[in-house]
Structure 1
Amino acid sequence: MKINRFGKAEILTPQEITLLFSEGFVKPRDRALFGVCLYAAARINESCTLQKGDVIGTRGIRPKLIIRAYNTKGGQDTREIQVHPKLKEFLSEYSNELSGRNPHLFPGRHGLGHIHKASADRILREALRRVDLDERGMSSHSFRRTALTWMSDSGVPLRHIQSISGHRSLAALERYLGVTEQQKENAISTLVF
Protein backbone atom coordinates (compact mmCIF):
# COMPACT_ATOMS: atom_id res chain seq x y z
CA MET A 1 0.00 0.00 0.00
CA LYS A 2 1.34 3.39 -0.95
CA ILE A 3 1.34 5.77 1.97
CA ASN A 4 2.63 9.27 2.52
CA ARG A 5 5.02 10.15 5.32
CA PHE A 6 2.12 10.58 7.76
CA GLY A 7 0.89 7.00 7.20
CA LYS A 8 -2.16 7.95 5.12
CA ALA A 9 -3.09 6.90 1.60
CA GLU A 10 -2.26 9.54 -1.00
CA ILE A 11 -4.95 11.88 -2.27
CA LEU A 12 -5.30 11.59 -6.03
CA THR A 13 -5.26 14.59 -8.35
CA PRO A 14 -8.05 15.18 -10.89
CA GLN A 15 -5.55 14.33 -13.64
CA GLU A 16 -4.68 11.00 -12.00
CA ILE A 17 -8.37 10.15 -11.61
CA THR A 18 -9.05 10.94 -15.27
CA LEU A 19 -6.07 8.92 -16.43
CA LEU A 20 -6.96 5.89 -14.30
CA PHE A 21 -10.61 5.79 -15.34
CA SER A 22 -9.97 6.49 -19.02
CA GLU A 23 -6.86 4.37 -19.65
CA GLY A 24 -5.85 2.50 -16.48
CA PHE A 25 -8.98 0.51 -15.73
CA VAL A 26 -9.67 -1.34 -18.96
CA LYS A 27 -12.65 -3.46 -17.86
CA PRO A 28 -16.11 -2.12 -17.01
CA ARG A 29 -15.95 -4.18 -13.78
CA ASP A 30 -12.78 -2.39 -12.69
CA ARG A 31 -14.18 1.08 -13.43
CA ALA A 32 -17.35 0.19 -11.49
CA LEU A 33 -15.42 -1.31 -8.54
CA PHE A 34 -13.13 1.68 -8.09
CA GLY A 35 -15.90 4.07 -9.11
CA VAL A 36 -17.78 2.95 -5.99
CA CYS A 37 -14.65 3.63 -3.91
CA LEU A 38 -14.38 7.14 -5.36
CA TYR A 39 -17.94 8.33 -5.95
CA ALA A 40 -19.43 6.68 -2.84
CA ALA A 41 -16.30 7.24 -0.71
CA ALA A 42 -16.41 3.53 0.11
CA ARG A 43 -13.69 1.38 1.60
CA ILE A 44 -12.47 -1.35 -0.75
CA ASN A 45 -14.10 -4.09 1.34
CA GLU A 46 -17.41 -2.22 1.23
CA SER A 47 -17.14 -2.03 -2.55
CA CYS A 48 -16.06 -5.67 -2.98
CA THR A 49 -18.89 -7.03 -0.84
CA LEU A 50 -21.79 -5.06 -2.38
CA GLN A 51 -24.83 -7.12 -3.29
CA LYS A 52 -26.43 -6.67 -6.72
CA GLY A 53 -29.74 -5.76 -5.10
CA ASP A 54 -28.11 -2.94 -3.13
CA VAL A 55 -27.12 -1.24 -6.37
CA ILE A 56 -29.39 -2.53 -9.13
CA GLY A 57 -33.19 -2.61 -8.97
CA THR A 58 -35.88 -3.71 -11.40
CA ARG A 59 -35.58 -0.36 -13.21
CA GLY A 60 -31.79 -0.36 -13.44
CA ILE A 61 -29.23 1.41 -11.27
CA ARG A 62 -30.80 2.60 -8.03
CA PRO A 63 -30.61 6.34 -7.18
CA LYS A 64 -28.88 5.37 -3.91
CA LEU A 65 -26.55 2.48 -3.23
CA ILE A 66 -26.71 0.70 0.10
CA ILE A 67 -23.65 -0.22 2.13
CA ARG A 68 -24.85 -2.71 4.73
CA ALA A 69 -23.67 -2.39 8.35
CA TYR A 70 -22.25 -5.93 8.35
CA ASN A 71 -19.86 -4.96 5.52
CA THR A 72 -18.55 -1.78 7.17
CA LYS A 73 -15.50 -1.35 9.33
CA GLY A 74 -16.59 -2.05 12.88
CA GLY A 75 -20.14 -2.97 11.82
CA GLN A 76 -21.21 0.66 11.66
CA ASP A 77 -24.69 1.74 10.59
CA THR A 78 -26.02 0.91 7.14
CA ARG A 79 -25.39 3.86 4.81
CA GLU A 80 -27.33 4.97 1.74
CA ILE A 81 -25.28 7.03 -0.67
CA GLN A 82 -26.62 8.92 -3.65
CA VAL A 83 -25.25 7.54 -6.92
CA HIS A 84 -23.18 10.15 -8.75
CA PRO A 85 -23.96 10.41 -12.51
CA LYS A 86 -20.45 9.21 -13.43
CA LEU A 87 -20.79 6.23 -11.08
CA LYS A 88 -24.19 5.46 -12.62
CA GLU A 89 -22.50 5.41 -16.03
CA PHE A 90 -19.81 2.97 -14.80
CA LEU A 91 -22.37 0.74 -13.07
CA SER A 92 -24.71 0.74 -16.09
CA GLU A 93 -21.91 -0.29 -18.42
CA TYR A 94 -20.83 -3.03 -16.02
CA SER A 95 -24.37 -4.30 -15.29
CA ASN A 96 -24.66 -5.38 -18.93
CA GLU A 97 -21.96 -7.98 -18.19
CA LEU A 98 -23.55 -9.41 -15.04
CA SER A 99 -25.08 -12.83 -15.17
CA GLY A 100 -25.44 -15.88 -12.99
CA ARG A 101 -26.91 -16.48 -9.59
CA ASN A 102 -24.13 -14.97 -7.48
CA PRO A 103 -25.75 -12.23 -5.36
CA HIS A 104 -22.54 -10.16 -5.23
CA LEU A 105 -22.11 -7.21 -7.55
CA PHE A 106 -18.44 -8.10 -7.99
CA PRO A 107 -18.22 -11.92 -8.06
CA GLY A 108 -15.04 -13.66 -7.05
CA ARG A 109 -13.01 -16.18 -8.97
CA HIS A 110 -15.06 -18.73 -10.87
CA GLY A 111 -18.21 -16.78 -9.96
CA LEU A 112 -18.02 -17.78 -6.29
CA GLY A 113 -18.41 -15.33 -3.41
CA HIS A 114 -17.20 -11.77 -3.93
CA ILE A 115 -13.96 -10.44 -5.34
CA HIS A 116 -11.26 -10.40 -2.69
CA LYS A 117 -9.69 -7.07 -1.76
CA ALA A 118 -6.24 -8.50 -2.61
CA SER A 119 -7.51 -9.10 -6.15
CA ALA A 120 -8.81 -5.52 -6.25
CA ASP A 121 -5.36 -4.33 -5.15
CA ARG A 122 -3.77 -6.26 -8.03
CA ILE A 123 -6.21 -4.62 -10.45
CA LEU A 124 -5.22 -1.19 -9.11
CA ARG A 125 -1.47 -1.96 -9.34
CA GLU A 126 -1.88 -3.07 -12.97
CA ALA A 127 -3.87 0.08 -13.79
CA LEU A 128 -1.22 2.32 -12.18
CA ARG A 129 1.53 0.60 -14.18
CA ARG A 130 -0.53 0.82 -17.37
CA VAL A 131 -0.70 4.63 -17.10
CA ASP A 132 2.79 4.98 -15.61
CA LEU A 133 1.74 6.39 -12.23
CA ASP A 134 3.95 5.91 -9.18
CA GLU A 135 2.53 3.12 -7.02
CA ARG A 136 4.12 4.31 -3.80
CA GLY A 137 1.53 5.94 -1.58
CA MET A 138 -1.36 4.88 -3.83
CA SER A 139 -3.83 2.33 -2.57
CA SER A 140 -7.48 1.49 -2.90
CA HIS A 141 -7.99 3.73 0.13
CA SER A 142 -6.70 6.69 -1.90
CA PHE A 143 -10.07 6.84 -3.70
CA ARG A 144 -12.04 7.12 -0.45
CA ARG A 145 -9.67 9.68 1.05
CA THR A 146 -9.71 11.68 -2.19
CA ALA A 147 -13.51 11.78 -2.28
CA LEU A 148 -13.87 12.90 1.31
CA THR A 149 -11.15 15.53 0.99
CA TRP A 150 -12.65 16.91 -2.23
CA MET A 151 -16.06 17.15 -0.53
CA SER A 152 -14.48 19.11 2.30
CA ASP A 153 -12.62 21.36 -0.18
CA SER A 154 -15.93 22.04 -1.94
CA GLY A 155 -17.53 23.28 1.25
CA VAL A 156 -19.75 20.26 1.97
CA PRO A 157 -20.59 20.42 5.70
CA LEU A 158 -18.58 17.97 7.80
CA ARG A 159 -21.73 16.41 9.28
CA HIS A 160 -22.91 15.53 5.77
CA ILE A 161 -19.48 14.11 4.86
CA GLN A 162 -19.59 12.09 8.11
CA SER A 163 -22.95 10.57 7.11
CA ILE A 164 -21.39 9.43 3.83
CA SER A 165 -18.09 8.22 5.28
CA GLY A 166 -19.51 6.46 8.33
CA HIS A 167 -16.90 7.91 10.70
CA ARG A 168 -18.08 7.71 14.31
CA SER A 169 -17.02 11.25 15.19
CA LEU A 170 -16.19 14.54 13.50
CA ALA A 171 -12.77 14.44 15.15
CA ALA A 172 -12.01 11.09 13.47
CA LEU A 173 -13.19 12.47 10.12
CA GLU A 174 -11.12 15.66 10.45
CA ARG A 175 -7.95 13.65 11.14
CA TYR A 176 -8.72 11.60 8.06
CA LEU A 177 -9.08 14.49 5.63
CA GLY A 178 -6.00 15.64 3.76
CA VAL A 179 -4.72 19.13 3.19
CA THR A 180 -4.72 19.87 -0.52
CA GLU A 181 -3.07 22.60 -2.56
CA GLN A 182 -6.49 24.24 -2.95
CA GLN A 183 -6.87 24.49 0.83
CA LYS A 184 -3.37 25.95 1.17
CA GLU A 185 -4.11 28.57 -1.50
CA ASN A 186 -7.46 29.43 0.11
CA ALA A 187 -5.82 29.79 3.53
CA ILE A 188 -3.14 32.14 2.18
CA SER A 189 -5.68 34.24 0.26
CA THR A 190 -7.66 34.88 3.46
CA LEU A 191 -4.71 36.41 5.30
CA VAL A 192 -5.20 40.07 6.11
CA PHE A 193 -2.20 42.19 7.11
Structure 2
Amino acid sequence: MPLIEEIRELVERRIAATDGTKNARLFVGTRGGRITTAVLRDATHWDEVVTKIGFDHLKRHSLRHTGLTWMADAGVPIHRLQKIAGHGSITTTQRYLHPQYLALFEAANLLSAHLKEPSGKPHLRAV
Protein backbone atom coordinates (compact mmCIF):
# COMPACT_ATOMS: atom_id res chain seq x y z
CA MET A 1 0.00 0.00 0.00
CA PRO A 2 1.50 3.35 -0.96
CA LEU A 3 1.97 5.87 1.84
CA ILE A 4 1.66 9.60 1.45
CA GLU A 5 4.27 11.67 3.25
CA GLU A 6 1.67 13.12 5.63
CA ILE A 7 1.16 9.76 7.39
CA ARG A 8 4.56 8.12 6.93
CA GLU A 9 5.84 9.07 10.41
CA LEU A 10 2.67 7.75 12.08
CA VAL A 11 2.96 4.39 10.31
CA GLU A 12 6.67 4.14 11.11
CA ARG A 13 5.90 4.69 14.82
CA ARG A 14 3.21 2.00 14.69
CA ILE A 15 5.59 -0.45 12.99
CA ALA A 16 8.21 0.23 15.69
CA ALA A 17 5.58 -0.44 18.38
CA THR A 18 5.03 -3.98 17.04
CA ASP A 19 8.57 -4.99 18.09
CA GLY A 20 8.86 -6.96 14.85
CA THR A 21 6.07 -9.37 15.78
CA LYS A 22 5.08 -11.33 12.69
CA ASN A 23 1.55 -10.53 11.43
CA ALA A 24 1.15 -7.78 14.04
CA ARG A 25 -1.63 -5.28 13.43
CA LEU A 26 -0.55 -1.67 13.08
CA PHE A 27 -3.83 -0.44 14.49
CA VAL A 28 -6.00 -2.36 16.93
CA GLY A 29 -9.36 -1.96 18.58
CA THR A 30 -9.88 -1.03 22.22
CA ARG A 31 -9.32 -4.63 23.34
CA GLY A 32 -6.27 -5.16 21.14
CA GLY A 33 -8.17 -6.98 18.38
CA ARG A 34 -9.30 -6.19 14.89
CA ILE A 35 -10.83 -2.79 14.22
CA THR A 36 -14.46 -3.42 13.36
CA THR A 37 -16.90 -1.03 11.74
CA ALA A 38 -18.52 -0.47 15.13
CA VAL A 39 -15.16 0.27 16.81
CA LEU A 40 -14.26 2.74 14.07
CA ARG A 41 -17.67 4.43 14.24
CA ASP A 42 -17.46 4.79 18.01
CA ALA A 43 -13.80 5.89 18.10
CA THR A 44 -14.38 8.65 15.54
CA HIS A 45 -17.79 9.68 16.91
CA TRP A 46 -18.87 9.46 13.27
CA ASP A 47 -22.62 9.70 13.81
CA GLU A 48 -22.33 12.75 16.06
CA VAL A 49 -19.86 14.53 13.77
CA VAL A 50 -21.83 14.11 10.54
CA THR A 51 -25.04 15.17 12.30
CA LYS A 52 -23.34 18.25 13.76
CA ILE A 53 -22.02 19.40 10.37
CA GLY A 54 -25.31 18.64 8.63
CA PHE A 55 -24.14 15.66 6.54
CA ASP A 56 -26.23 12.86 8.07
CA HIS A 57 -26.27 11.13 4.66
CA LEU A 58 -22.44 10.81 4.58
CA LYS A 59 -21.18 7.25 5.09
CA ARG A 60 -17.64 6.25 6.02
CA HIS A 61 -17.43 4.24 2.80
CA SER A 62 -17.91 7.54 0.93
CA LEU A 63 -14.42 8.49 2.08
CA ARG A 64 -13.06 5.59 0.00
CA HIS A 65 -14.75 7.11 -3.06
CA THR A 66 -13.33 10.52 -2.15
CA GLY A 67 -9.78 9.19 -1.71
CA LEU A 68 -9.79 7.37 -5.04
CA THR A 69 -11.30 10.39 -6.79
CA TRP A 70 -8.64 12.70 -5.35
CA MET A 71 -5.90 10.31 -6.47
CA ALA A 72 -7.41 10.17 -9.98
CA ASP A 73 -7.65 13.97 -10.08
CA ALA A 74 -3.98 14.10 -9.03
CA GLY A 75 -3.10 12.03 -12.10
CA VAL A 76 -2.81 8.50 -10.69
CA PRO A 77 -3.55 6.08 -13.57
CA ILE A 78 -6.69 3.97 -13.18
CA HIS A 79 -4.81 0.65 -13.27
CA ARG A 80 -2.87 1.80 -10.19
CA LEU A 81 -6.05 2.95 -8.47
CA GLN A 82 -7.49 -0.50 -9.12
CA LYS A 83 -4.50 -2.09 -7.37
CA ILE A 84 -4.66 0.35 -4.44
CA ALA A 85 -8.39 -0.28 -3.96
CA GLY A 86 -7.99 -4.03 -4.32
CA HIS A 87 -10.61 -4.22 -7.06
CA GLY A 88 -10.66 -7.20 -9.40
CA SER A 89 -11.93 -5.08 -12.27
CA ILE A 90 -11.24 -1.58 -13.58
CA THR A 91 -15.00 -1.27 -14.09
CA THR A 92 -15.45 -1.44 -10.31
CA THR A 93 -12.76 1.20 -9.81
CA GLN A 94 -14.47 3.48 -12.35
CA ARG A 95 -17.66 3.39 -10.28
CA TYR A 96 -15.68 4.87 -7.37
CA LEU A 97 -14.49 7.91 -9.31
CA HIS A 98 -16.52 11.10 -9.14
CA PRO A 99 -14.67 13.89 -10.92
CA GLN A 100 -15.53 17.46 -10.09
CA TYR A 101 -17.67 19.19 -12.71
CA LEU A 102 -15.11 22.00 -12.95
CA ALA A 103 -12.44 19.44 -13.83
CA LEU A 104 -14.67 18.10 -16.61
CA PHE A 105 -15.15 21.59 -18.05
CA GLU A 106 -11.41 22.19 -17.81
CA ALA A 107 -10.82 18.98 -19.78
CA ALA A 108 -13.06 20.31 -22.54
CA ASN A 109 -11.20 23.63 -22.53
CA LEU A 110 -7.87 21.83 -22.78
CA LEU A 111 -9.10 19.82 -25.76
CA SER A 112 -10.37 22.96 -27.47
CA ALA A 113 -7.02 24.68 -26.97
CA HIS A 114 -5.18 21.62 -28.27
CA LEU A 115 -7.26 21.47 -31.44
CA LYS A 116 -6.70 25.12 -32.36
CA GLU A 117 -3.74 26.42 -34.29
CA PRO A 118 -2.18 29.68 -33.20
CA SER A 119 -4.40 31.34 -35.83
CA GLY A 120 -7.42 30.24 -33.83
CA LYS A 121 -8.64 27.89 -36.55
CA PRO A 122 -9.31 24.25 -35.70
CA HIS A 123 -7.07 21.68 -37.33
CA LEU A 124 -7.04 17.94 -37.75
CA ARG A 125 -4.03 15.72 -37.40
CA ALA A 126 -3.54 12.35 -39.02
CA VAL A 127 -3.26 9.64 -36.42
TM-score range, shorter chain: 0.5 to 0.7
97 and 178 in structure 1: CA distance in 2 versus 1, 3 angstrom threshold = same
Looking at structure 2, the residues matched to 90 and 183 of structure 1 have their Cα atoms a distance apart, in angstroms, of 32
Structure ranking higher on relative contact order (CA contacts 8 Å, 6+ apart): 1
Aligned match of 1:168:
88
Aligned match of 1:136:
56
Unaligned runs of 5+ in 1: 1-80
2:100 pairs with one of 167, 176, 180:
180
Counterpart amino acid of residue 54 in structure 2: D
Residue 86 of structure 1, CA deviation: 0.9
Looking at structure 2, the residues matched to 152 and 183 of structure 1 have their Cα atoms a distance apart, in angstroms, of 11
Residue 134 of structure 1, CA deviation: 3.0
Q: Deviations over 1:155-191 (max 9, x none)?
A: 2211111111111111121122112244233244246
TM-score of the superposed pair, with normalisation by structure 1: 0.45
User: How many residues of Structure 1 are paired with residues of Structure 2 in the alignment?
Assistant: 110
Residue 126 of structure 1, CA deviation: 4.6
Kept in 2, the 8 Å contact 1:153–1:182? The answer is no
88 and 191 in structure 1: CA distance in 2 versus 1, 3 angstrom threshold = closer
Kept in 1, the 8 Å contact 2:87–2:93? The answer is yes
Q: In the alignment, does 2:4 pair up with 1:84?
A: yes
Q: In the alignment, does 2:41 pair up with 1:114?
A: no
* CA RMSD after TM alignment: 3.4
